[in-house]
């Protein structure tokens, strides 16, 4: 099956801690987060044309070191049929499979869950604050987004997969203990909440490049606010300290 591919990282240890994985980046995204650090992956016409069979052959050639596939983007569920096809083929080869998604296409995620061992859903703001979520995602005209993400979370949590909620901490948008506490309440039931550091080197809205990156100490403080809401497993990811459990 043909699809738009942004690129492939042959070997990563970051996307699924404890595993050596190959990461397939799907081209195109339905959101326009002004702070997005993966700008080249947004346009649906970007990247290059690829075939799921060719990608599988490439992944097979990386064995036996790699036995895990992570699909991300862009937004992998922006091309749901190709995403499903790739995961089916990888699972058929005995691979562990994971997805990193914004959660906005809950019906597509539902179809993929039987083939997933690990689900990462980006939670960019409190899910009970559609106005702030629209601001953070650059989707002021899009309605029902938070409801779809809530449904995606529910589907993932009740599946067999391990589930991680992931929040990028962005100054002026969600870098606030009260906001992080609200997110923590929204994601109760996940196996982990990861707070990760906004990086200002390249952003969709150039004005965000003028904002400082929140440091490790700031993320630790926010993580403690999340833990006070009852989450047992909270991690932070920073340039300074890598991935740390709080």
Range of the domain at 30: 2-245
Q: Please give the average pLDDT of every successive group of 10 residues along the chain, which has 246 residues.
A: 96 88 97 94 96 95 90 96 97 96 97 98 96 90 87 98 98 97 97 96 95 96 97 95 94
| CATH number of the structural domain spanning residue 179 | 3.20.20.70
Return the number of other C-beta atoms located less than 10 Å from residue 82's C-beta: 22
pLDDT tens string 123-158: 999 999 999 999 999 987 667 999 999 999 999 999
Say what the pLDDT of residue 142 is.
67
**Strand pairing report for 68-73 and 96-101:** parallel
- The pLDDT of residue 141: 67
Residue 78's contacts (CB-CB under 8 Å, 6 or more residues apart) are 26, 28, 29, 30, 44, 105
Nearest to 64 by CA among 97, 22, 13, 92: 22
The stretches of the chain forming alpha helices (DSSP H) are 52-60, 80-92, 106-112, 130-137, 145-157, 177-186, 216-227
Residues 6 or more apart whose CB falls under 8 angstroms from that of 122 comprise 100, 101, 102, 103, 166, 167, 168
Q: Is 45 helix (H, G, I), strand (E, B) or coil?
A: coil
What is the predicted pLDDT for the residue at 64?
A: 83
**Longest Cα separation, the chain:** 47
For the chain, the C-alpha Rg in angstroms (whole number) is 17
Q: In total, how many domains does the chain have?
A: 1
- The span from the CA of 222 to the CA of 148, in Å, is 26
């Amino acid at each position: 099956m043909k699809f738009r591919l942004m690129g492939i990282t042959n070997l990563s240890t970051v996307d699924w801690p404890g595993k050596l994985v190959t990461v397939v980046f799907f081209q195109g995204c339905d959101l326009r987060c002004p702070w997005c650090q993966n700008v080249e992956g947004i346009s649906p016409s970007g990247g290059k044309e690829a075939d799921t069979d060719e990608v599988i052959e490439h992944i097979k050639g990386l064995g036996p070191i790699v036995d895990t596939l992570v699909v991300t983007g862009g937004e992998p569920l922006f091309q749901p049929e190709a995403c499903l096809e790739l995961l089916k083929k990888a699972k058929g080869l005995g691979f562990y499979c994971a997805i990193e998604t914004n959660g906005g296409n809950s019906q597509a995620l539902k179809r993929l869950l039987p083939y997933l061992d690990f689900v990462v859903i980006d939670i960019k703001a409190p899910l009970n604050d559609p106005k702030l979520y629209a601001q953070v995602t650059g989707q002021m005209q899009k309605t029902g987004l938070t409801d779809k993400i809530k449904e995606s979370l529910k589907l993932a949590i009740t599946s067999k997969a391990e589930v991680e909620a992931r929040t990028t901490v962005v100054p002026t948008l969600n870098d606030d203990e009260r906001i992080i506490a609200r997110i923590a309440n929204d994601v109760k039931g996940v196996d982990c909440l990861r707070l990760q550091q906004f990086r200002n080197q390249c952003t969709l809205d150039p004005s965000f490049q003028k904002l400082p990156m929140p440091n490790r100490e700031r993320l630790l403080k926010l993580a403690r606010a999340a833990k006070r809401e009852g989450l047992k497993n909270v991690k932070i990811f920073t340039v300074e300290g890598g991935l740390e459990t709080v």
